[in-house]
Structure 1
């Protein structure tokens, strides 16, 4: 024998017995309030609520038990067989219809929504028409008559069913499905006081002659604890309070103080029953609205907490991404530094063949391109975090354009392009961050050179128009497809710009251009007639308030307009100490500085650098930041502690170049922070100012 089947059958049998017993007891309790003729059912019929709750919880299969329990109750009341069959049929159909409506419209036993409370009221009012109608019809057929008119009798029976379903059904469903209470010490105390107040006030009104105070009916006082319970507690607790009030009021009307002696007991019960139904409807609505408000607040709080958690995760992920990019840039820049220094050193020599010179120039160009790419990648991260702060000053555009041309000259020459520049000297100054504007124009010209086939033409022009500075970069390149043009400034956009060629790089150059221009309060737009017809990018920037005598926005490391790789060294001979745990990078710099006519030494450990500085007394100390045992910040602080180095130029040379890194350098006592790899022109500018 399958024990699982046995367990299920035993449970069903137990449920059937319980439902049968509860139904009969509820029917007998309702009979205690009987106030009509002998053949009339009770004016309060809680069994109607029991039957719908039973079918909703355990399924339609219990209809047989409901029918049997109704017949048994009629037998106990000595009801004629035909009438008993009619009452049982009506009660069963009523329970089936009520259960169907609750399930059809997805009634939630937790009673958290207004629609659930409204649905329960609708079922109580609508489904309970069946039982009194059937009972009235059977009474008429059997010739049984009550003490009141058939219409009044039908209304009394119907209201009895309405009150039973409205209070008993949700009470049983909610407590059976969710028996646990969310108890706290405060809620127990507050709930106890509220329910005692409701019970005490109901007892005072219905069980004693004291039904008014100061001429005001005490019935109004019931509203206070009812509002208290419905607003402070859930729908389930509100239903429990209404049920308790109904029991006290009905029993008090029958067994306690009888109220107005001129009114019959049936009339008084009818009035109390009608009042209880009205109060139930009102406070169903009040508690449902309050519960939905609490749910909305809890949901909102939950969403806020989830959003805060998601924001923190995104913030952590963004921070991790930023740190990863910074570390990646540092690790990539470290090997670039000695490579560039070695190439700069070779550039100062006489190459034996043009091929060797071309190879060195190509290697140098690729190193600078990679360094430029790393700068762009870090800037994207800074912009996304709002960490880029512009140092806006009046900038002379012609001088800045000369530096930009120098930045891209190697790339332009390697692709045999013709670059035409028309940026007059007499243009008004623009209000801009010189370094960032140089970055914008460098990116635009680099983009034009990359996407123009060899032997192409590129134009850089600028003019004043309507109080704005207009800068245009135009090329004869592969053009931009109409599908790509609207998204050309999107970050990491690597969409195809032409029919036969995909984009190069990471797709961040133009996105960075747009962000930087917007930070300047300007605009940038792209235009192309289509594939193979070139493209143009137009930048509009605000002008400076007034021209200045010189350009204070130019960087310290700004190179001259024409590159002079083999020019004579103008700076006086300097003693230079290079401290870097990367021996290749340190040695390459020492060779470069010695070739430039200076005296340079290298130290590969932090403490060795301090000792060598005390012995060598350099004019300039170049410190790597990420050294073992002691980082460059600590070395700088210790060096500044010696009187001998108060005026010595100490420069941080690091693969880390974010604003917080530069700020830490300033706080540690560095005079300047250079990011690897550093080119020859920057070193020359530093040496000339030392």
Structure 2
């Protein structure tokens, strides 16, 4: 803190000294020079803009000393010095604080602000206050040094305002632009630049008659300076223009004093006024022109820089290397010091790349950075930007801020060596999540960042975000690709294992004569492994429906206790095989609006999952709780439990704890994903809890309840009664079909043989057709009660066949009940079959009992249809009624 106070007072005294000395030098020249040129005003404004508003006492002290040395009393000197200080404060507040002046003067807005706020407006105050003070005290004019004359006061006021205004226009810009490094360095070592500088010097001397040749042009020769200013502006930018204006002012004033140049009038004062008005117009034109040119160049550089940044970021290699190259591009175009911070997997802030215009300062910056905290919850700075996702612009870093930073980081004087002047921090966001920040610091260049700079920094951060998004997508694609490979390996294993069992037992049955008990065991094994394959395929189809958004429900009022009891009862045999106790602890009555088939599937998956991961001798408990209009079903096991890190992803598809070739449990990891989707479609949710490994787990299903009155009434009229009266046979008995005439259409001889065997065994009369054309011929020759047809057949497929049949009159079988028996099992294919004219869609594989049940349903439909094809239903819809 002592260092800050010392520096502040040192600068205040230095400013006061410079103010006083520059004024005293003018007193050595003719009085008229001080009346038209007053460097202290421009010098003091530039100093305060560069080093801070707190230097205003230096202006007050310097102006008071000058006034005192002019013969004014202490009070009058204080009033005049207060006017000068007030004018300086107005200029600083307007131009510096509110308009955020960039000292490089490379933007049109900066130059316009300096001209209007600094030169035209603020200088009105000291002139007005000074003349009022002279009027009150009766002192002689401070401008012309003539005795007091009230009639001459307007002229004195104008001269006072003009000299201050010209001081701001000439001296302030040249100090500002040479105090900060330019974005584009002056190219003075080339022959073209050297020739242009010599041309400028030669032209100025020629205009002011220091060289012969142009005196015959009279005052018009002064306009030769305008094209010169244009050339300087294009070549050298703000530094060249401000320096040329300063040089013209010095040469012009000295020449006019010695009666040279194109602005000579009646007396020295008038000549200097003519000169100053011309220089003012010339300077304003040159500075504005330079600002427009600089802005155009800056825009071109930014576009070029963004293109180069995109090229660098798209290069092959590690991200850290590309980011380091990008940071090196940013210095010194955008900053003296810049870096990229990213949040790592441990949620700590990690420095990825850093660059500094000075290598020694870069090492110092790295040492300072090593003291910064890594925790993301650290207040302020980069951490705050990452947490909030909002950019930060600190236009000017005060010395107090540096002291505070040094104290917090415990880096001592090293913070002063960095010399930060202005800061920008922009977030790097991907998919609405902030992953890091891009930081730009201005130090030795003295550059103050503006809103335009922040917009450009945000644009650059957007390019970085795009690369991070690409890297994230690539990483996710690789993870997904590995997951796909793991899934395909698991799928191959899960499909090949039952196939191997099936093929093995078929070979045994074919080659060996087994006892009746062995044969029964073999058939049970074949049936069990075939069922395993069917379940795997059904799960895959359900997942594809979920992904495609085509998972549909056929909801109706259900008694929840019945569904739960049926699910528990149907899994008792599976639990008994592992000597697991499966118990229904409590089954509270309640109603839900649900798809019975899908709800049974949901419960079955939960119970099967619990049994799978529970060792022999364990226990699986199921109970139902009801509270108001919500029902909660809990499935609890005493199995291996779920690791804490796996709990958040336990319901994701293709996820299995301990997956891979060494996993101890089979399956594809689809069951729980299907459970969650079914639960959400019913307006519920399913959650999992576990206290850890070998501590068991509990799955909780929450479902909305349903207030139902009159349960047990007819849901679908006569159709419901008809279906309920036709119970599925427990086994195939001769006579079940009672001579039902069936037309069976399939291009596969094996399917024809198998289905014909089941239907004949059940008492049906079957006619077989190997193609659609053959089926149409049989329909013309005979009368059938039911049509069973495949879909995928060569030539005319099943869809075309049923459309042709529906086009026939009833006497030729146009209204025959029909079922599609097909391996096309997706919902869209079911819908397509029903729309084509089938009444049932039966996916393969299908057992004999289910096949006979479907034929019975179709036969009953035929009895209610009359002359029109009966209403169509999917097999799942019919079975659920």
Structures share fold, TM-score greater than 0.5:
yes
Q: Name whichever of 59-68 and 519-528 sits farther off.
A: 59-68
Residues 374-411 of structure 1: per-residue CA shift (max 9 Å, x gap): 22222223233332332221113344345535764664
Q: Secondary structure at the match of 1:532?
A: coil
Aligned with 2:519 (options 334, 339, 356): 356
Instruction: Measure the CA separation in 2 of the matches of 1:373 and 1:560.
Output: 30
Corresponding residue for 1:68?
195
Report how far residue 422 of structure 1 moved.
Answer: 5.2
Aligned with 2:567 (options 366, 381, 404): 404
Instruction: Measure the CA separation in 1 of the matches of 2:728 and 2:616.
Output: 23
Corresponding residue for 1:112?
none
Q: Which runs of 5+ in 1 are unaligned?
A: 1-42, 49-54, 100-122, 179-287, 304-309, 315-320
Instruction: Measure the CA separation in 1 of the matches of 2:684 and 2:844.
Output: 31
Residues 330-381 of structure 1: per-residue CA shift (max 9 Å, x gap): xx9xx99xx99x99xx9xxx99433332332232222223222222222223
Any conservation in 1 of the 2:233–2:286 contact (CA below 8 Å)? no
Instruction: Measure the CA separation in 2 of the matches of 1:503 and 1:362.
Output: 19
Q: Secondary structure at the match of 1:79?
A: helix
Corresponding residue for 1:213?
none
Corresponding residue for 1:135?
248
Instruction: Measure the CA separation in 2 of the matches of 1:555 and 1:502.
Output: 48
Any conservation in 2 of the 1:435–1:555 contact (CA below 8 Å)? no
Any conservation in 2 of the 1:471–1:538 contact (CA below 8 Å)? yes
Matched, 1:623 2:789: yes
Any conservation in 2 of the 1:434–1:555 contact (CA below 8 Å)? no
Q: Secondary structure at the match of 1:459?
A: strand
Matched, 1:686 2:849: no
Corresponding residue for 2:778?
612
Report how far residue 625 of structure 1 moved.
Answer: 1.0
Instruction: Measure the CA separation in 2 of the matches of 1:480 and 1:565.
Output: 42
Report how far residue 161 of structure 1 moved.
Answer: 1.9
Instruction: Measure the CA separation in 1 of the matches of 2:514 and 2:622.
Output: 33
Residues 543-595 of structure 1: per-residue CA shift (max 9 Å, x gap): 23215216959999999999944667644332333212222222211122222
Instruction: Measure the CA separation in 2 of the matches of 1:656 and 1:479.
Output: 38
Any conservation in 2 of the 1:557–1:685 contact (CA below 8 Å)? no
Any conservation in 2 of the 1:657–1:675 contact (CA below 8 Å)? yes
Alignment CA distance shift 1:83-1:385 (3 Å): farther
Superposed, which structure 2 residues align to 1:472-487 within 5 Å? 472-487=634-649
Instruction: Measure the CA separation in 1 of the matches of 2:804 and 2:665.
Output: 49
Matched, 1:577 2:704: no
Report how far residue 414 of structure 1 moved.
Answer: 4.3
Residues 403-445 of structure 1: per-residue CA shift (max 9 Å, x gap): 5357646644544434334575x82322101111111112112
Instruction: Measure the CA separation in 1 of the matches of 2:187 and 2:521.
Output: 92
Corresponding residue for 2:619?
457
Any conservation in 1 of the 2:557–2:594 contact (CA below 8 Å)? yes
Corresponding residue for 2:605?
443
Matched, 1:365 2:533: no
Report how far residue 670 of structure 1 moved.
Answer: 0.7
Residues 9-59 of structure 1: per-residue CA shift (max 9 Å, x gap): xxxxxxxxxxxxxxxxxxxxxxxxxxxxxxxxxx9xxxx9xxxxxx99998
Aligned with 1:677 (options 831, 845, 848): 845
Aligned with 1:493 (options 640, 645, 655): 655
Matched, 1:537 2:703: no
Q: Secondary structure at the match of 1:572?
A: coil
Alignment CA distance shift 1:63-1:155 (3 Å): farther
* TM-score normalised by length of structure 2: 0.44
Corresponding residue for 1:599?
765
Instruction: Measure the CA separation in 2 of the matches of 1:550 and 1:420.
Output: 32
Corresponding residue for 2:272?
148
Corresponding residue for 2:813?
645
Instruction: Measure the CA separation in 1 of the matches of 2:205 and 2:243.
Output: 22
Instruction: Measure the CA separation in 1 of the matches of 2:723 and 2:582.
Output: 24
Report how far residue 608 of structure 1 moved.
Answer: 2.0
Aligned with 2:286 (options 161, 179, 189): 161
Q: Secondary structure at the match of 1:661?
A: helix
Instruction: Measure the CA separation in 2 of the matches of 1:672 and 1:527.
Output: 41
Alignment CA distance shift 1:421-1:80 (3 Å): closer
* TM-score normalised by length of structure 1: 0.55
Matched, 1:515 2:677: yes
Instruction: Measure the CA separation in 1 of the matches of 2:708 and 2:565.
Output: 22
Instruction: Measure the CA separation in 2 of the matches of 1:177 and 1:419.
Output: 71
Instruction: Measure the CA separation in 2 of the matches of 1:555 and 1:421.
Output: 31
Instruction: Measure the CA separation in 2 of the matches of 1:640 and 1:683.
Output: 23
Superposed, which structure 2 residues align to 1:182-221 within 5 Å? none
Instruction: Measure the CA separation in 2 of the matches of 1:664 and 1:432.
Output: 24
Instruction: Measure the CA separation in 2 of the matches of 1:397 and 1:559.
Output: 23
Instruction: Measure the CA separation in 1 of the matches of 2:612 and 2:775.
Output: 44
Report how far residue 514 of structure 1 moved.
Answer: 0.8
- RMSD of Structure 2 on Structure 1 (CA): 5.2
Any conservation in 1 of the 2:641–2:693 contact (CA below 8 Å)? yes
Report how far residue 481 of structure 1 moved.
Answer: 1.3
Alignment CA distance shift 1:65-1:589 (3 Å): same
Q: Secondary structure at the match of 2:272?
A: coil
Matched, 1:390 2:553: yes
Any conservation in 2 of the 1:472–1:539 contact (CA below 8 Å)? yes
Any conservation in 2 of the 1:401–1:423 contact (CA below 8 Å)? no
Matched, 1:468 2:592: no
Any conservation in 2 of the 1:556–1:686 contact (CA below 8 Å)? no
Alignment CA distance shift 1:423-1:369 (3 Å): farther
Instruction: Measure the CA separation in 2 of the matches of 1:567 and 1:396.
Output: 32
Q: Secondary structure at the match of 1:481?
A: coil
Report how far residue 166 of structure 1 moved.
Answer: 3.8
Any conservation in 2 of the 1:484–1:496 contact (CA below 8 Å)? no
Instruction: Measure the CA separation in 2 of the matches of 1:390 and 1:359.
Output: 38
Report how far residue 652 of structure 1 moved.
Answer: 0.8
